[in-house]
Every structure is written in structure tokens, then in C-alpha cells.
Amino acid sequence: MLRASVAAESAGIPSATLVCESFMTLSKAASQGLGYPNIAVAPVRGHPGLQSKETLQQNVRELTLDGVLNALLKMPVAVTVDGEPGAQEVICSGTFEEINEYFLKHELSDGLPIVPPTVEKVEAFLRHTDRKADEVLGVMLPDNRAATVWSVAVNGVMAGCRPEYMPVLVAAVEAMADHDYGVEHSGNTPGGDNLIILNGPAIKYLDFNYTQGVMRDGFQANTSVGRFWRLYLRNVAGFLPHKNDKATFGNTWRVVVAENEDVVAKIGWTPNCADYGFAAGSNALSVGRYTGGNHISSVSGATPEELMPYIADAVVRQYSWQIMFSVGQGYDTLRPLLLLSPIIAETIASGGWSKEKFREELFKQARMPASMFEKILRDWTQKPTWNLTEEHQAGRIPKMFHESDDPERMVPLVWRPEDFQVVVTGDLGRNSIYVFAHNGVLGFPVCKEIKVPGK
Amino acid sequence: MANAESQYAALWPRGPRQAKVKPLAKRLDTLEGKTVAWVWDYVFRGNEVFEQLEASLRQRYPGVKFLNWDLFGNTHGSDERNVVANLPQKLKELGADAVVSGMGC
């Protein structure tokens, strides 16, 4: 909303942005990064989702109307932005405890102790990349800061990474800065967090866990790189809770998940990075944002046909309001993610199923009645424009969502089989899967090569 | 045994800000005879809020005109970047004098 208002202001057209009262702090913080710290907003009382039509109208008349008039007719008072330290400046000196107190006090830490980012430690990280320290990997909203290789190293040190992880950190920030990923949405209310999936020889030579407990903290590479992502979101993108991060509940950062490429090769499947155009054996990472997930235990059956109904049902059960990213708010941007434990993948493959065949069957079976699809979007979440018939007739969605007028017809979650992301990892001896609820356009999966110096 | 008195010089972990403070557009003297564009992210009943605002504004400014939200597209979806990038041009083409953008909730 603010970004649209800024577009108008930049064209010389005054704007009023309608902002719920509880979002005023976020609005103020975001407006700085957009270069309009004094942009005017009009308050919306409470939340419209919980108000009768009469109450909503009354609130608009009593509060929002004056806010709109003020914003459009009165020039807001000019605001200056405080200066900041230089990009490579020492900001404090002292003992470990004193440094940590300073970082906590100045909102530069996630609440856990950080490793003090000294020049010596940062330079050790920089020796593990060919990139120049001042190279800008992208510009991060909402704070609108340059993501420099230097800042990657600083936050990598703080997170407890080893210097040799630096190429992974650089690739992660390149993913964060990718427009398709949409980092600017990382503070939205569903509070989803990212998941990094790692492929390539780096898994073994950097000692990432890719077997039992793959999503558990306790493995330095997986854990510290996961923490790095959140620190970078905080310190460079600018997502601070109670400011630009408006997660209703939020999630803790996720540790990196590495794929079990030994099993993938053994069953003749392709690794996750291959779905993004990288050859098997490439060092690469993908990143997407997920609002939650569920462990699906004891997936049982001797054939893929026997396994599929439970798996497909589990996938559908993870998707409620997120289907708005298939039809609606984010057309064709839903990319569900499944982690298959190795013996599940082996059982599926032993039935002669390729990864593609598995996804085709999932596409056929992971469906819900059209009436439910529409009810979630139109009634339960009060989205006014979603009707599958009208959307199809307007040419905005494929025919598969409107094969007939039967409200009980089954419609898919996604537009095509390859929209399902499938990764083999986890306990070698357990028959479970994990299904993630994807956050659509607000964290669309992207994949980046991990460039190792000298290779 | 670790030396608890070791001293560190810690570096700034943030990146340099790229946004410079820019001036807001000139405000209007009145909405009478002006055209107000509703710009929407298609959530949180913005269409109903716009309807009520439209009715209230017409009472105060009988000559005010409006441009409906469906002329601009969704400002917060898969097409957000295009919609926002095209907004200045579209607003000018349609003769908008002011914009009301919702819903930040």
C-alpha cells in the first residue's frame, strides 16, 4: 500500500494510505526505507475482518475520513533521518559481554549471544570468496539497504558461521535479493520464515547434516547458516519485530535442510537444484518462505500406489488460505514443498516411479472440492473477487479449475505437477514425510549457485 | 581457559541506506472538482471502505470524481511490481489528482 502511495507521490500526486491502527509503527518504519519518512497515512480502526458492515462504515466515517482529508489537503511536517555509521566502521569496543550488550541495546542482535564481528574475523570470511567486499549483491527493502559482501561476512561472523561457509552465505543473500523471492514481504502478518535447501558437494565438505534430525539445530553448518539468514533479514533488510516485522505470531528461523544426494542418485531421481536448471552435482541452494508445516508420520504401504492417498491428503490438509496464491492474490505462485524420508522415496522409486511421475500423481490426487476452495477465499477470508468460474471465464486461470459447474468437482492446489517441490532427506530408517505450507508470492522459491573460489 | 577480559572492536553489521529523503507531492487545496483514485491490494474489505469514503466525500464535495480500483490492478499480489511501476503513468492518463491506497492491515 505504501509502495503504491510512494509511486503516486513520485509522480506529483498526493496520496493517503489506509493503515490499520496496529500497523502505524510498521508504516512509519517502512516509509523511511522508501524515502518518504513523512508520508501521511489515514487510520483504520481495529481490523475490518472482524467488523459488521455497519461498524465498518461508522469507523470509516468517524476516523478514516478525516485521516484521508488530512493526508490529501495538509502537507506533513518535514522529517529528517538520523545519520548512521559508515559501512565498515567500528561501532563499539569492549569485552564479549559489553559487545553483546551494545548489540542487543541497538537492536542488532536476535537475542542470542553474537560472535563479535571484528576486522580479523570478517577478513577471514572474505578470503573464502572471489567477490569484492564492497560489491553490492542487491538492495533490500524495507530498509532499502545495500547488501554488500562485507555485510554478509559481518553477519556471518555474528551468527557463528565458519569462514568457509562464506560462499553459501553469499548465495543465500543473492537469493534474498532476488526480486522473485520478494524479501520486502518478509514482515507480513502470517509470519512465515524461509527454508534454505542445499545441494552439491558442499553438503559433505562443509559438514551439513542431511540425515536424521535434518531440521533440528545442533549441527553447526545447518544451524549457523539458518541463523545468519534471520540476522541478515534483521540487520540489512530491516525486519525488526514491533517495527517492520508485523508477524502475528512469527516463527523462529529454520536451520538449513541439506538433501541426501546419495539416496537421490541411488534411486535415479534428480536433486532439488535440477528443478531450477542446475546440473546434479552443482553446489546450489534454493530458498522459499513457508508459513508452517507438518510431520506426517508412518506413511505406510509397499507400493507408490498405496502410499499416495495418505501423502496427497497430507498435502491438502496443509493448505487453507494459502490457496490464494494459486488463484487470487498471487496467481500461480503456490509451490508446496515436501520432504520425503529416504525409504519413502526408495519405495516410490522401486515401483518404477520417477520424480516426475510422483509429482504427476500428486497433482492428480492432492485436490479439494471447488466449493471449499471458493469458501476459503470468498467467505472465510473475505476476499471479494474470487470465483473460479468467473476467474476462468476472464482467462485468468486454467480450465482445470472449471471443468464443470459442479461445486463438488475436485480442483488442484497448483497449476501443474512440477509446482510441487520434492526433496529427499531426513532419517534413513523412518517412513515419514514433511509438508510445508508455502507463502506464495511472499517468498517465491528461487535457486542460486554457490560459487566456490577457484572452481 | 578463556580470557574473559579479551577486548574486541566490533563492526557495523548493517548495509548502507540507499534511499534519500524525497519531497512529497504538493497537497490539494480542495477535493471539489478533483479526481480521486482508489488503489487497492484486494484484501481486508477495501472495496467497502472505499464505498463509504466515496459517499462521505461526495457529501462534502459534490463535484468530486472517483476512479475505481479495478482500473489499476492488485497492488499486492503476483503482479505487484508491474502494477506499482505502471501506476504513475496510469494515474496521469486517467487524470487522477489524488490517490487513496489501501489496505495496510
Contact of A96 with chain B, judged by CB distance below 8 Å, is answered with yes
Angle value at C-alpha A439, between A17 and A409, nearest 5 degrees: 110
Task: Give me the torsion for CA of A34, A35, A41, A47, rounded to 10°.
Answer: 20
Helix (H, G, I), strand (E, B) or coil at A447: strand
Q: How far is B68 from chain A (nearest CA, A)?
A: 14
Angle value at C-alpha A365, between A362 and A368, nearest 5 degrees: 120
Structural domain contains residue A427: no
* CA pair distance A30, A369, nearest whole angstrom: 39
Q: Which residues of B touch A56 (CB under 8 A)?
A: 45, 48-49, 52
Nearest by CB: B7 against A93, A139, A146: A93
Determine, for residues B98 and A14 on separate chains, whether the beta-carbon distance falls below 8 Å.
yes
Give first-to-last CA distance, chain B, whole Å: 53
What pLDDT is attached to residue B1? 42
Task: Give me the helices (H) in A219-300, please.
Answer: 220-232, 261-266
Determine, for residues B49 and A56 on separate chains, whether the beta-carbon distance falls below 8 Å.
yes
Answer whether A435's CB lies under 8 Å from A337's CB: yes
Closest residue on chain B to A78 (Cα): B23
SS3 content of chain A, % helix, strand, coil (to 5): 40, 15, 45
Confidence label for A353 from pLDDT (cuts 50, 70 and 90): very high
* CA pair distance A428, A274, nearest whole angstrom: 22
What pLDDT is attached to residue A307? 98
Long-range CB contacts for residues A109-116, cutoff 8 Å, separation at least 24 = A109/A158, A109/A231, A110/A227, A110/A230, A110/A231, A110/A234, A110/A253, A112/A227, A114/A158, A114/A159, A114/A160, A114/A231, A115/A157, A115/A158, A115/A159, A115/A160, A116/A157, A116/A158, A116/B8, A116/B10
Place of cell 520464515: A193
Q: Which set of grid coordinates corresponds to residue A173?
A: 543473500
Q: Which domain holds residue A56?
A: 2-73
| Residues belonging to chain B | 105
Structural domain contains residue A30: yes
User: A443 vs A100, A133, A191, B64, CA distance in Å?
Assistant: 31, 27, 11, 40
Structural domain contains residue A24: yes
Structural domain contains residue A50: yes
User: A133 vs A88, A141, A150, A443, CA distance in Å?
Assistant: 10, 21, 5, 27
Provide the domain count of chain B: 1
Helix (H, G, I), strand (E, B) or coil at A311: helix
ipTM: 0.93
Query: Which residues does residue A196 pair with via DSSP β-bridges, in sequence order?
Result: A287
Q: Residues of chain A with pLDDT > 70: what percent?
A: 99
Contact of A24 with chain B, judged by CB distance below 8 Å, is answered with no
Provide the domain count of chain A: 1
Q: What is the DSSP letter of B63?
A: T
Global pTM reads 0.93
What pLDDT is attached to residue A382? 75
* CA pair distance A408, A392, nearest whole angstrom: 17
Check the CA dihedral A122-A123-A128-A129 and report its sign: positive
* CA pair distance A261, A203, nearest whole angstrom: 9
Q: How far is B63 from chain A (nearest CA, A)?
A: 15
Answer whether A117's CB lies under 8 Å from B13's CB: yes
Structural domain contains residue B49: yes
Structural domain contains residue A315: no
What pLDDT is attached to residue A285? 98
Q: What is the DSSP letter of A163?
A: G
Mean pLDDT (whole number) for B15-40: 95
- Give the number of other Cβ atoms within 10 Å of residue A291's Cβ: 23
Place of cell 559508515: A86
What pLDDT is attached to residue A151? 98
Q: Which set of grid coordinates corresponds to residue A372?
A: 471449499
Determine, for residues B11 and A89 on separate chains, whether the beta-carbon distance falls below 8 Å.
yes
Q: Which set of grid coordinates corresponds to residue A294?
A: 507438518
Contact of A331 with chain B, judged by CB distance below 8 Å, is answered with yes
Nearest by CB: B41 against A1, A53, A332: A1
| Residues belonging to chain A | 455
Determine, for residues B99 and A145 on separate chains, whether the beta-carbon distance falls below 8 Å.
no
Check the CA dihedral A55-A61-A62-A66 and report its sign: positive
Contact of B43 with chain A, judged by CB distance below 8 Å, is answered with yes
Q: What is the mean pLDDT of chain B?
A: 93
Give the tens place of pLDDT for each residue, A92-135: 999 999 999 999 999 999 999 999 999 999 999 999 999 999 99
Determine, for residues A96 and B48 on separate chains, whether the beta-carbon distance falls below 8 Å.
no
Residue A87 has pLDDT above 90, yes or no: no
Mean pLDDT (whole number) for B64-83: 92
Q: Which residues of B touch A81 (CB under 8 A)?
A: 17, 21
CA-wise closest residue to B80 among B48, B51, B40: B40
Q: Which domain holds residue B85?
A: 36-102
Q: Which helix (H) or strand (E) holds A168?
A: helix A166-177
CA-wise closest residue to A1 among B79, B92, B20, B105: B105
Give the tens place of pLDDT for each residue, A159-189: 999 999 999 999 999 999 999 999 999 999 9
Query: Which residues does residue B40 pair with via DSSP β-bridges, in sequence order?
Result: B102
Q: How far is B32 from chain A (nearest CA, A)?
A: 12
Helix (H, G, I), strand (E, B) or coil at A230: helix
Mean pLDDT (whole number) for A281-295: 97
Mean pLDDT (whole number) for B55-62: 97
Check the CA dihedral A153-A155-A158-A162 and report its sign: negative
